[in-house]
Structures are given as structure tokens and as C-alpha cells.
């Protein structure tokens, strides 16, 4: 059973490593990635306004960036 | 991740401070002089502005203009500033439950019922809310990113926020390093926040009798936070980001305006006490975001899990889909966000009058309850024909629903006989917000 588990883990690990070898792009392949809608922080003021609103109404905040307050609303 | 966000040409020039006049403002900025200080400013800085309007049915409404300015340096550095102003007014729940009898409360500035300038009465069955609530906030922030060498950069930032009853200062620093032909970025940041709370009418003593007006002086709280992030370019169409954050806040963490109803065995309100929360709160969260894009469409999926030492666990999922029209000058972007949190260990909608609240933690603040919220909305964005300016409008609607067990707690208190149940803490049909954007 242990051997079988090890073999499965080895197979899965090999597939993942093979996948990682193809991860990433060359500099000339960044045309789509360079757009603002492809950046995690690309929404700018939209995100700032949303984060502030959700912070004032929920017990959670942050994640994308620091979840500090800077506001007495919560 | 060091990615060029837009063609450089899109980063130039000013639109307006007010988005309400987007088109007009854009036209004016095109006519700005090319020389001199103003001309250089318009050429070298990217300015964005937004005006958000938020409305809860029968409750608060808020207007929030935001302006930001950023400038990229040739060496990869960046400096940015932002200014936010909030104006809130309307009616805000004070934490007490509806009652079979009419209830009378004093606005926070009062030092006794006899001398209170403003009293407000709540009809039987209605959720008590202070109708005179108003607040304003001005916040100014800035950040400076400077490259240490080709693959490493440091960002320093700060923020000051001022309200009538709250002052806050935040400092943060982060370092990011690119690996793997700039396909992998590892970042680490820390943040420190110091707040001073000066409640209107002074700070109520936790657990004290509401009618006693037992107040004390100003309070403070401090917070520290750390963030570890990994951003990975998966392929030409897919970017992934994983963040792990932890923060710790200590000091005065109560809401000084929230009270808790005290009920007898028959469900009749016999009084109120001020809430009392623990003085330390530590939170941890994991955040995963994926961005997938094609020529005419892109999608963002983010997931967040948070847990804290108050017993709250939350899950958040958000999906954005953006479709560009032919020519890529207009897009439409629907959004759906789902949020759920469990209640804080000390959340309690009411307190039996047989319980002595000498040392216990208790809060009836619905933001600490078990609830879920669904937000859905849409954004329409466009580039002006000059390719220098952008504009947009967003509309969102949120519906929050308290968990069934919390609603049952209300019913256990005998409130089912009221004229309406307390099924939603933050506005009956939910909240809507509108937002205008310009850049």
C-alpha cells in the first residue's frame, strides 16, 4: 500500500514538475499580460472604493493587500 | 510582478477632479498648454478620479470622491498620491433590538437624558437607529517605489486619515524581487498603524448601563501587519497571485456607539449596556487571485479565507468578466461577489437581565454576526477617441442576510410579535452604489 502511494505521489509530482517547466513566458509574449485588466492591482480606484465599503460592513478586510483600517467606520 | 500597465500614451495628461463632467473635463485637459509647469504635470502624471455614491434603503448614504496621481520614472520607479473624502449621513443602527414598546435613545453627544440636545424615539417593532448619524473623513496617502537593482524594488507608503472622532496614521514598507525571467515575483511587506479614537460625547465605559452615561476619555489602538506574496505568470494568458497575510490589532476595539438590549424572561426590554470586545485581535488570511485574458475578453477570480482570534471565519469569492467591443474602446464588466462569515464568539443580539455582565465580552453589532452577502454589479468603461482618457460607470447592489440561527435568537426574545422581524441588519432590500470613473 505504501509503495503504491509513493508511486502515485511520484507520478503526480512528475506531472506537476513537468508542468512547471513550461510555466512562464518570454518577454515578447507579454502583450496580453501587460494590460491593466490582467494586473492584480489593475483596477486601482475601483478596488480602493470597494475595499473601503466592504471593510465598513464586514468583519474581514485585506488579502489583496494590507487589511488595515484607517477608518473609524469599523 | 513588474508589468507595463498601459501603453505610455495612455498614462499621460489630466482628466478632471470631478467625474460628473467626464467628457467636458477631458476636452479641457486636451486644451491644456503644452509648456510650463501645468503642461509638464499633465504630460508626466497619470491622474485618476472617481465619485462613488452609496445608499442603503432607509439608512445611511455616502458620497466618496477619490483622486489619485501617479508618475512612472524611467528607471522603473513610481511615486503616487491619493486623496479621499467621505461624507456619510442618515440613520445608523445602534445595536439595540426592536421592542414591543416604544424606545427612546439619546444621540452620542448626550451626557444625560435630561440635558440631551437630541433624543430619538423608535416605534414598537422597529429596529433602533440613530437618525442623526453623520460623519466625514478625509484621507491622504502616498507611496514611493524605487528600484534597488534590476530585479528588486522597495516600496514605502503612508496614509493619514482624519474624521470627527477618529485619527489614523499608517506606514508600510515592502520589498519585491523577480525571478525566473521576471515570471515569478516574491514580495514581503509590513505595515504599522496607530489610531486615536475620540468618540462624540466621550468614550462609554464598556458594559456600563446606557442610561448612566458613564463616560471616559480618548482611546487608542495599534495594528501591525505582514504580507507574503507570490505572483506567477503561468502562460501568455494566465497570471496567478497568492498572498498570505497576518495582522494584530490591540487597544480599544469597541464600537463606542453600539449598545446591547437587556431583556427579561418575557422578551421585554428592561435596559441597555454598552458593548465590550476583547482588546486584542489577530487575523490570518490566504488570498488567491487568477487573471485570465484573451484578445477581447478577460476574467478575474479571487478567493479569500480569513480566520481570527475572535472566532470569526470568512470566505469570499469574486468573479469579474470583461468583454471589449470591437476596436477595444468600450467594455462591459459584470461582477459577482459572495461573502460569508461566522459570528464572533462574543456576538450576542441581547442579554438576559438575569446575567451579570461584569467581565464578559459581548457585542450585538451585526457586522460580527453570522451572515452572508451577495453583491452583483456591472461596469461600463470606455476610452475616448484621443486614446488618452478613459471613463466609466459602475453600479452595484448588495444584499446581506443574517443566518437563520441569529434570526431565531431574535425570535427567542419574543420579538416575533413585533411588526417586523429583524432579518437584515444593514437595510431591508440591501444596498446600492453608483460610481463614476475617469482617468
The domain that contains B130 carries what CATH number?
Answer: 2.40.160.40
Q: Specify which residues B332 forms β-bridges with.
A: B323, B380
Other CB atoms within a 10 A radius of the CB of residue B88 amount to 19
pLDDT at B119: 92
Which domain, by its residues, includes B199? 8-438
Which residue is closest to B159 within chain A, CA to CA? A70
Q: Which residues of B touch A25 (CB under 8 A)?
A: 183, 233, 235-236
Which residue is closest to A72 within chain B, CA to CA? B166
| Cross-chain Cβ contact B66/A34 below 8 Å | no
Which residue is closest to A26 within chain B, CA to CA? B181
User: Which pLDDT tens digits describe chain B residue by residue (439 residues)?
Assistant: 333 333 332 333 323 233 333 333 333 344 444 567 777 777 788 888 999 999 887 788 899 999 999 999 998 899 999 999 999 898 889 999 999 899 999 988 888 888 888 899 999 988 899 998 889 999 999 999 999 999 999 999 999 999 999 999 999 999 999 999 999 999 999 999 999 999 999 999 999 999 999 999 999 999 999 999 999 999 999 999 999 999 999 999 999 999 999 999 888 999 999 999 999 999 999 999 999 999 999 999 999 999 999 999 999 999 999 999 988 889 999 999 999 999 999 999 999 988 776 668 999 999 999 999 999 999 999 888 766 788 899 999 998 888 877 765 655 454 433 333 333 444 334 566 676 666 5
Distance from CA of A38 to the nearest CA of B (A): 6
Please state, in angstroms and rounded to a whole number, the distance separating the CA atoms of residues B374 and B125: 26
Other CB atoms within a 10 A radius of the CB of residue B259 amount to 23
Total number of domains in chain B: 1
Distance from CA of A4 to the nearest CA of B (A): 31
Q: Which residues of B touch A30 (CB under 8 A)?
A: 3-4, 236
| Cross-chain Cβ contact A39/B255 below 8 Å | no
| Cross-chain Cβ contact B400/A54 below 8 Å | no
- Let me know if residue B307 belongs to a domain: yes
Read off the DSSP letter of residue A28. Answer: G
Which residue is closest to A74 within chain B, CA to CA? B255
- Let me know if residue B2 belongs to a domain: no
- Let me know if residue B294 belongs to a domain: yes
pLDDT in tens, A20-46: 557 889 999 999 999 989 998 888 788
- Let me know if residue B141 belongs to a domain: yes
Sequence-distant (≥ 6) Cβ neighbours of residue A36 within 8 angstroms: A42, A44, B5, B6
- Let me know if residue B363 belongs to a domain: yes
Q: What integer best gives the mean pLDDT of chain A?
A: 78
C-alpha cell at B235: 502562460
**More confidently predicted of B30 and A67:** A67
Contacts 24+ apart (CB under 8 A), B299-304: B300/A37, B302/A63, B302/A64, B304/A60, B304/A63
The interface residues of chain A toward chain B in range 12-71, judged by CB-CB distance below 8 A, are: 22-27, 29-40, 42, 44-46, 48-49, 52-54, 57-60, 62-71
- Let me know if residue B248 belongs to a domain: yes
- Let me know if residue B250 belongs to a domain: yes
Quickly state the pLDDT bin for A48 (edges 50, 70, 90): confident
In Å, how far are A56, B8, B43, B83 from B68, measured between CA atoms? Answer: 21, 18, 15, 6
Please state, in angstroms and rounded to a whole number, the distance separating the CA atoms of residues B420 and B140: 42
- Let me know if residue B1 belongs to a domain: no
This prediction has a pTM of 0.85
| Cross-chain Cβ contact B3/A33 below 8 Å | yes
The residue among B154, B144, B150, B156 whose CA lies nearest residue B179 is B150
In Å, how far are B153, B279, B330 from B146, measured between CA atoms? Answer: 6, 37, 34
Amino acid at each position: 500500500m505504501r509503495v503504491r502511494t509513493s508511486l502515485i505521489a511520484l507520478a503526480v509530482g512528475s506531472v506537476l514538475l513537468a508542468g512547471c517547466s513550461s510555466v512562464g513566458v518570454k518577454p515578447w509574449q507579454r502583450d496580453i499580460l501587460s494590460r491593466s485588466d490582467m494586473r492584480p492591482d489593475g483596477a486601482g480606484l475601483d478596488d480602493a472604493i470597494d475595499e473601503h465599503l466592504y471593510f465598513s460592513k464586514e468583519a474581514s478586510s485585506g488579502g489583496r493587500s494590507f487589511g488595515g483600517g484607517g477608518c473609524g467606520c469599523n | 510582478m513588474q508589468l507595463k500597465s498601459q501603453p505610455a500614451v495612455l498614462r499621460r495628461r489630466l482628466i478632471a477632479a470631478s467625474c460628473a463632467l467626464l467628457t467636458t473635463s477631458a476636452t479641457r485637459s486636451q486644451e491644456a498648454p503644452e509648456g510650463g509647469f501645468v503642461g509638464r504635470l499633465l504630460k508626466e502624471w497619470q491622474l485618476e478620479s472617481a465619485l462613488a455614491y452609496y445608499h442603503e434603503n432607509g439608512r445611511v448614504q455616502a458620497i466618496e470622491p477619490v483622486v489619485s496621481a501617479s508618475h512612472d520614472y524611467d528607471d522603473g520607479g513610481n511615486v503616487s498620491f491619493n486623496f479621499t473624502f467621505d461624507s456619510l449621513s442618515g440613520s445608523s443602527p445602534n445595536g439595540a433590538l426592536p421592542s414591543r414598546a416604544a424606545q427612546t435613545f439619546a444621540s452620542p453627544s448626550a451626557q444625560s437624558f435630561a440635558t440631551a440636545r437630541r433624543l430619538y424615539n423608535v416605534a414598537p417593532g422597529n429596529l433602533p437607529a440613530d437618525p442623526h448619524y453623520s460623519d466625514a473623513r478625509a484621507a491622504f496617502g502616498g507611496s514611493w517605489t524605487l528600484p534597488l537593482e534590476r530585479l528588486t524594488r522597495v516600496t514605502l507608503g503612508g496614509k493619514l486619515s482624519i474624521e470627527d472622532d477618529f485619527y489614523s496614521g499608517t506606514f508600510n514598507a515592502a520589498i519585491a524581487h523577480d525571478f525566473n525571467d521576471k515570471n515569478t515575483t516574491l514580495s514581503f511587506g509590513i505595515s504599522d498603524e496607530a489610531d486615536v479614537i475620540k468618540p462624540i460625547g466621550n468614550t462609554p465605559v464598556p458594559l456600563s448601563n446606557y442610561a448612566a452615561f458613564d463616560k471616559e476619555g480618548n482611546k487608542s489602538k495599534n495594528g501591525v501587519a505582514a504580507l507574503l506574496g507570490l505572483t506567477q505568470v503561468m502562460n501568455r494568458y494566465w497570471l496567478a497571485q497568492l498572498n498570505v497575510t497576518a495582522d494584530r490589532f490591540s487597544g480599544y476595539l469597541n464600537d463606542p456607539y453600539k449598545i446591547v438590549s437587556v431583556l427579561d424572561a418575557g422578551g421585554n426590554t428592561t435596559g441597555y449596556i454598552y458593548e465590550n470586545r476583547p482588546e486584542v485581535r489577530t487575523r490570518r488570511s490566504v488570498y488567491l487571485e487568477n487573471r485570465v485574458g484573451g484578445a477581447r475578453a478577460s476574467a478575474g477570480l479571487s478567493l479569500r479565507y480569513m480566520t481570527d482570534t475572535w472566532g470569526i471565519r470568512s470566505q469570499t469569492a469574486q468573479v469579474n468578466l470583461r468583454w471589449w467591443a470591437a476596436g477595444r474602446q468600450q467594455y462591459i464588466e459584470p461582477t459577482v461577489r459572495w461573502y460569508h462569515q461566522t459570528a464572533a464568539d462574543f456576538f450576542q443580539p441581547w442579554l438576559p437581565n438575569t446575567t451579570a455582565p461584569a467581565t464578559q465580552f459581548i457585542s450585538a453589532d451585526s457586522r460580527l454576526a453570522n451572515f452572508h452577502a451577495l453583491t452583483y454589479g456591472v461596469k461600463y468603461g470606455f476610452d475616448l477617441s484621443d486614446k488618452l482618457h478613459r471613463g466609466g460607470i459602475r453600479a452595484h447592489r448588495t444584499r446581506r442576510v443574517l443566518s437563520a440561527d441569529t434570526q431565531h435568537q431574535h425570535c427567542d426574545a419574543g420579538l416575533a410579535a413585533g411588526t417586523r422581524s429583524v432579518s437584515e441588519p444593514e437595510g431591508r432590500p440591501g444596498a446600492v452604489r453608483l460610481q463614476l470613473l475617469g482617468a
